[in-house]
Chains A and B, each alone.
Chain A
Amino acid sequence: MTISCRLSKLGLVNALGTSHEEVSAGLFAGNQDGLVKRDDIVPDRSFYLGEVQGRLPEIPDTLVRFRCRNNQLSLAALQTIEKEVRTAIEAVGRHRVGVVFGTSTSGVSDAEVALRYQRERGGLAPGFAYDQLEFGGGAGFIADYLDICGPTYTISTACSSGARALASARALLELDVCDAVIAGATDSLCNLTIFGFSALQAISEEITNPCSVNRKGLTLGEASALFLVTRDAGGIQLLGVGESSEAHHMSAPDPSGGGAETAMRAALEDAGADASQIAYLNLHGTGTPLNDSMECAAVARVFGNELPCSSTKPLVGHTLGAAGATEAAFCWLALQAADLELPLIPHRWDGARDPELAPINLVESSHSSSPSPKGASLVATNSFGFGGNNCVLIFGRETP
């Protein structure tokens, strides 16, 4: 059964800002000011981070067991759509609203503090609760904050978590388990991921430079993007989901791009769309040598060399578990702004094309010299995660 799956409302926060206006302005201008150089985290290493600046909302005292930066980022995103979300809950009942949440970090940043306390003073830090740290707690926090009791869970498949959360939200609506779902993802910067990717030699000293011959790895960031997903027609719709596993390696993709290609083709099939109907593709585009080479090869095989593509990781960093939802949110903002013409998100890089990569059409500027193919109106986003977990989403704007 195929139903409407409307991404009715969007709340988000990332290095570009918190409001739709702020984020859109930075996005379409290709603004990299949100990435800040840090040399005080990993000894003898410096790199940029896409930190969310400014004060985050406090977790209410009644939910103190969920207090951590990850949940504060979720709350910052959620509060921007809270009124509409509460209205939707009121309309369908608290047991008919679910939460499908993606994260790869959960509250690990705050566990670091609790472990330091334990080392230095012994015993459990006052106020520390496991709900802050456990993966399921990110979803549990949203459900308890909104006082809803539909299915509430976290999907954690590394960097495809956020995309996969939207896929499961649609299925819960199709199964008639829920009438509305809060779906999206949050990841927060923490020592675990910064030291981890640093140990993998995957972090670039300069801002990530996807598809360039000079690319040297990724830039990490943090973000939250949460959607109110409903069964309504109209507006911006999730039209296609494509998934695959790589069966290749825990931390490296299949160099042929076979897994990525399978997921892109499956998403097109699920959307009932032809490759020529896609007007813009948001790349996974991490800026690591292997991701970009396999992804360009796969994109060229599925879409050819004309489709406008960009990576938004040079603007907000790789937000890991939140990346799939954050990049879905960027697609949403582009479709939302597409009154006459779809605004494209520029690909920020040094322009030094890698002759080893399949040539794909990287967007120069928001109103590019090479516009979207005629008749194309859909947008897609790629997410590929550790463990070889791929998820591709396709969105379109439905005019009622």
Chain B
Amino acid sequence: MLGAVVVRTSAWAPGIESAAAVRAWIENPQPLAATGHPDAKFLPAMLRRRCTPLTRIMLTAAHECCDNAAQEVRTVFASRHGSINESIGLLEAIAASGRLSAATFSHSVHNAQAGLFSIASSNRQASSSIAAQQDSFPTGFLEAMTHLQRDPDRPVLLVMGDVPLAEAFAPLVDEPAASYAVAMLLAKNGNGPHISLRIEPGEKSIASPPWPAAFQFLHWLASTDSELSIPTPGRIWRFSR
């Protein structure tokens, strides 16, 4: 059956900046704040200088989650928007001046967070960076399953995160504006709840959830409910324990 053990989780959002704050949010879930990012002081200054808010948020959650396993895990970085805000900024720079910054360009790839995580933690394992519109979180979980399939003995670090879309295009998306990341260490075996996943066809039209699916997952994981359904346009992702 499709699934994995959730060995450990961590999360970061503005004002939800410690394990205790995550527990408090789970007790009393609220919409997340739109903007804010951590210092990410654990990163060497040279790397940190180039980090966007999203990179700082995702790497902070990743850092909290992996402990001393950071060098050995495979990684999946999932984000709907990724570095698109930086790409929009670069397009505006080209339009204004006919040039762009080479360093900003090379840090605007969708796998920027994965690349910087690899450099910061000397991690030479396989890594994928994915995007799947409103399905990005559960699809990230599925992509993590594909890595466990390829290398069953090696845990996979899944990191899902986003920041609000740049003003130019923000009116085009129907989602709560939130800055956040959730990280989880997934393994074939180990201590922790075994979570199964099923994917079913669903309605095309869905209501926008009050907070991101990855936070819904954290809330469910701490509850006693046996199943969590995440409806996305055209699909229902069913997690069960």
Chain B hits for A112, CB < 8 A: 91, 94-95
What distance in Å separates the Cβ of A199 from its nearest Cβ neighbour in chain B? Answer: 4
Contact pick for B126, options A115, A195, A245, CB 8 Å: A245
Are A154's CB and B172's CB within 8 A? no
Are B234's CB and A149's CB within 8 A? yes
What are 11 A-B contacts defined by CB distance under 8 Å? Answer: A124-B172, A136-B133, A153-B136, A155-B130, A157-B128, A168-B143, A196-B108, A199-B101, A250-B106, A387-B129, A388-B115
Chain B CB within 8 A of A131 CB: yes
Chain B hits for A135, CB < 8 A: 82, 84, 110, 131
Are B125's CB and A244's CB within 8 A? yes
What's the tally of chain A residues with a CB closer than 8 Å to chain B? 71
Chain A CB within 8 A of B139 CB: yes
- Extra 9 A-B pairs, beta carbons < 8 Å, given A130-B165, A199-B99: A104-B110, A128-B172, A135-B131, A153-B142, A196-B106, A244-B126, A249-B119, A251-B102, A386-B106
| 7 nearest CB pairs, A to B | A387-B115, A171-B146, A156-B110, A243-B126, A196-B105, A135-B131, A251-B106
What distance in Å separates the Cβ of B81 from its nearest Cβ neighbour in chain A? Answer: 7
Chain B CB within 8 A of A236 CB: no
Most buried by B among A118, A152, A250: A250
Whole-angstrom distance between the alpha carbons of A114 and B143 in the complex? 32
Chain A window 117-152, contacts with chain B (Cβ cutoff 8 Å), 1 for yes, 0 for no: 011000010001111011111011001000001111
Chain A CB within 8 A of B173 CB: yes
Are B128's CB and A246's CB within 8 A? no
Given contacts A95-B201, A168-B128, A388-B118, contact A152 B135 (CB under 8 A): yes
Query: Chain A: residues with CB nearer than 8 A to chain B?
Result: 42-43, 94-95, 104, 108, 111-112, 114-116, 118-119, 124, 128-131, 133-137, 139-140, 143, 149-158, 164, 167-168, 171-172, 174-177, 191-192, 195-197, 199-201, 241, 243-251, 259, 262, 270, 385-389
Are A245's CB and B124's CB within 8 A? yes
What distance in Å separates the Cβ of B168 from its nearest Cβ neighbour in chain A? Answer: 6
Chain A CB within 8 A of B132 CB: yes
Chain B window 109-125, contacts with chain A (Cβ cutoff 8 Å), 1 for yes, 0 for no: 11110111011011111
What's the tally of chain B residues with a CB closer than 8 Å to chain A? 67
Given contacts A171-B150, A244-B126, A250-B115, contact A104 B109 (CB under 8 A): yes
Are A195's CB and B106's CB within 8 A? no
Whole-angstrom distance between the alpha carbons of A291 and B132 in the complex? 31
Given contacts A154-B132, A157-B114, A195-B100, contact A244 B124 (CB under 8 A): yes
Are A387's CB and B118's CB within 8 A? yes
What distance in Å separates the Cβ of B239 from its nearest Cβ neighbour in chain A? Answer: 14
Chain A CB within 8 A of B48 CB: no
What distance in Å separates the Cβ of B44 from its nearest Cβ neighbour in chain A? Answer: 13
> Looking across the interface, which residue of chain B has its beta carbon closest to that of A386?
B109
> Looking across the interface, which residue of chain B has its beta carbon closest to that of A385?
B111
Chain A CB within 8 A of B9 CB: no
Are A140's CB and B128's CB within 8 A? no
Contact pick for B132, options A42, A129, A136, A389, CB 8 Å: A136
Are A259's CB and B124's CB within 8 A? yes
> Looking across the interface, which residue of chain B has its beta carbon closest to that of A168?
B146
Chain A hits for B123, CB < 8 A: 245, 247
Are A196's CB and B100's CB within 8 A? yes
Whole-angstrom distance between the alpha carbons of A200 and B92 in the complex? 18
Are B131's CB and A153's CB within 8 A? yes
Are A247's CB and B199's CB within 8 A? no
Contact pick for B131, options A118, A156, A243, A270, CB 8 Å: A156
What distance in Å separates the Cβ of B229 from its nearest Cβ neighbour in chain A? Answer: 15
Chain A CB within 8 A of B26 CB: no
Are B88's CB and A115's CB within 8 A? yes
Given contacts A150-B199, A168-B146, contact A389 B115 (CB under 8 A): yes
What distance in Å separates the Cβ of A216 from its nearest Cβ neighbour in chain B? Answer: 17
Are A174's CB and B149's CB within 8 A? yes
Contacting A at CB under 8 A, from B128-173, are: 128-133, 135-136, 139, 142-143, 145-147, 149-150, 165, 168-169, 171-173
Chain B hits for A149, CB < 8 A: 201-202, 234-235
Chain A CB within 8 A of B127 CB: yes
Most buried by A among B82, B101, B130, B235: B130
Are B130's CB and A154's CB within 8 A? yes
Whole-angstrom distance between the alpha carbons of A389 and B50 in the complex? 19
Chain B hits for A42, CB < 8 A: 98
Given contacts A192-B90, A241-B150, contact A250 B112 (CB under 8 A): yes
Given contacts A157-B114, A171-B146, contact A115 B91 (CB under 8 A): yes
Whole-angstrom distance between the alpha carbons of A149 and B90 in the complex? 34
What distance in Å separates the Cβ of A248 from its nearest Cβ neighbour in chain B? Answer: 7
> Looking across the interface, which residue of chain B has its beta carbon closest to that of A115?
B91
Chain A CB within 8 A of B200 CB: yes
What distance in Å separates the Cβ of A333 from its nearest Cβ neighbour in chain B? Answer: 26
What distance in Å separates the Cβ of A179 from its nearest Cβ neighbour in chain B? Answer: 13
Given contacts A135-B110, A157-B110, A192-B90, contact A246 B118 (CB under 8 A): yes
Chain B window 69-87, contacts with chain A (Cβ cutoff 8 Å), 1 for yes, 0 for no: 0000001000011101001
Chain A CB within 8 A of B107 CB: yes
Are B201's CB and A129's CB within 8 A? no
Chain A hits for B94, CB < 8 A: 112, 191-192, 195
Whole-angstrom distance between the alpha carbons of A11 and B118 in the complex? 34
